[in-house]
Chain A
Amino acid sequence: MNIYKILTEIEKTDPEVYDKLGSRREVFKHFAGFGKKLAVAAVPLAFGSMFKKAYGQTSGGLIGILNYALTLEYLEAEFYTMAVAKAPGGSAGFIPSGEPIGAITTIRDHENAHVNFLKSAITAAGGTPAAKPTFDFSAGNGSNNGPFADVFTNYQTFLAVAQAFEDTGVRAYKGQADKITDNAVLTAALQIHSVEARHAAHIRRMRGQKGWITGKDGGNMPAATQAVYNGEENTNQAGVNVATLPGSSVNIGTEAFDEPLDMNVVLAIVDPFIV
């Protein structure tokens, strides 16, 4: 189970993780029990709440958030790097040459820059950058035969996964913004966040979709990605129902505001992609 692997990775950079979560034995016992008794999907939820408990408001919180962001950027960076490598100039008929491969290359470069930036930021903050996990972009948890098994041969599958990653990235950064107590880090996180949103808009339009999200509809996306969009239908913003404002509507209200995702939900979404 990859939750163990995530914990093991965290243990490498934060040997005291189990002091924060409870004893190592208790933690693993806890998860083992979950594995038997509860749906697998509930495990990341439990993990997320424990992670929050461990890293919440301590000085380690910032490093924890940055390593979380780094892990998501590793995912995106390797995804695009592999895609571009597998489709040089579109010769494999995978990513068409010209504008499509150009856009994917641009995005790849940004994600790699984000990885390097976050590594530097973590080191500068006195932390240790998390190691890059092993990924399975078929979402098969290491089987390489998950629901997106043709991700690097089928252009539409690739774009759908790319859209899911970008829209998730936007929500993930947004979900941490109000938990970052350091102003410089907050600004940098916002500066990455809006780049992910630019990527998302472009990928969405490569798929023939609007650049923005209407309701909780991903836009002709595989059912497996629905968790990326759940909650986007919210129209209540700071007590104001934006759907009923003059000239607005439910669709407009949802499109005009993107919604955040908590760390535990994001970890559950990316879980099948991490071996």
Chain B
Amino acid sequence: MFNKKNPDLETGSSLITALQRPLERRLFLKYAGATAAFTGLILSGCSNDDDDTTKPPTNNEVVDPANNPNATDAVNLGTGDVGILNYAYALEQLEAAFYTRVVAGFYSGASTAEQQILTDIRDHEVAHRNFFKDALTAAGATPIPELKVNFTSINFSDRGSVLATAKAFEDLGVAAYNGAGKLLQNKAYLLIAGKIVSVEARHAAVIRDLINNGSFADNSVIDANGLDRAMMPLDVISAADKYITTNINANNLPK
């Protein structure tokens, strides 16, 4: 979640203040989803939108059940390409933690095929997570620390709850990489993002088909132009917010 004590956020762009207010955040995301029908270009423009005039947030305004009172240290993703890599690292940490928990004790009635799929995806997400940690280090940057996650809203013994969460994470991951591509300056990192996003899309399709065969690319994610979603980092982190206890400061990422 956003660090509510971060002065940058208090005085930051109006978008962020809007995102910090739960009701308006929901409206924003709803709006963002609708604009995806127009190629996503409008969606990406939202992050630079200066037109919102919302009142400044107060420290009490975000009421998040996932908020851990101990999580006072905000993780700053940083700037530039390193910031985007840390952002991807954060998302992969979330996914890896989720599937690790899923595989540690499958929901009742999980078929052999489902167990294999979820184990494969766990392996892929763990590989993505560990890759980013090493790649950031290799680039001379400091990877963000391990995030604290909050999965209290997920019923890991229930197939519907697990698969719905998996679907949300995979679709979000696809939209996140699609949106982040243009923010990367180093073309080698852009290629890496491309190599990962299609695997996330494969995951999304398979998970969706487990829920409802044929929904691998339905119109809840694919618009009339046949385009998948693309979301900007602040919107993605906002959507993932309830599952992450650690405060994440994404305010310095490229926009």
Interface residues of A (CB under 8 A from B): 99, 102-103, 106-107, 109-114, 116-117, 170, 173-174, 177-178, 183-184, 186-188, 190-202, 205, 210-212, 237-240, 242, 245-249, 252-253, 255-260
Contacts and interface: CB of A to CB of B under 8 A. Distances in A.
A212 B195 contact: no
Contact of A259 (B195, B202, B228, B229): B195
A194 B174 CA distance: 7
Contacts of A240: 131, 134-135, 138
Q: Give the contact-size bracket for chain B.
A: 35 or more
A177 B44 CA distance: 18
Given A190-B197, A212-B199, A198 B187 contact: no
Nearest to A117: B225
Given A174-B198, A202-B216, 10 more contacts: A174-B191, A186-B181, A190-B230, A194-B177, A194-B201, A198-B216, A201-B205, A255-B199, A256-B128, A257-B196
Contacts of A170: 198
B142 interface: no
A98 B128 CA distance: 36
A58 B85 CA distance: 30
Given A237-B192, A240-B131, A188 B204 contact: no
B233 interface: no
B142 to A, nearest CB: 16
Contact of B201 (A186, A195, A255): A195
B43 to A, nearest CB: 9
A196 B226 CA distance: 10
A187 B40 contact: yes
B206 A201 contact: yes
B217 interface: yes
Contact of B127 (A177, A190, A191, A252): A252
B123 A256 contact: yes
A240 to B, nearest CB: 5
A174 B227 contact: no
Interface residues of chain A: helix, strand, loop or mixed (majority) = helix
B127 A198 contact: no
Given A99-B214, A187-B181, A178 B190 contact: yes
B74 interface: no
B227 A177 contact: no
B120 interface: yes
A194 B197 contact: yes
B182 A198 contact: no
Contact of B199 (A103, A114, A257): A257
A212 B120 contact: yes
B194 interface: yes
Contacts of A248: 123, 126-127, 130
A259 B199 CA distance: 10
A99 B212 CA distance: 10
A184 B216 CA distance: 25
Contacts of A196: 198
Contact of B123 (A113, A117, A202, A247): A247
Nearest to B204: A198
A117 B187 CA distance: 25
Nearest to B188: A238
Nearest to B191: A178
Contact of A245 (B130, B209, B229): B130
Interface string B31-50: 00000000111001000000
A252 B124 contact: yes
B227 to A, nearest CB: 4
11 contacts: A106-B216, A107-B217, A174-B194, A187-B182, A195-B217, A198-B228, A201-B202, A201-B216, A237-B192, A247-B123, A255-B199
Contact of A193 (B44, B124, B187, B198): B198
B178 interface: yes
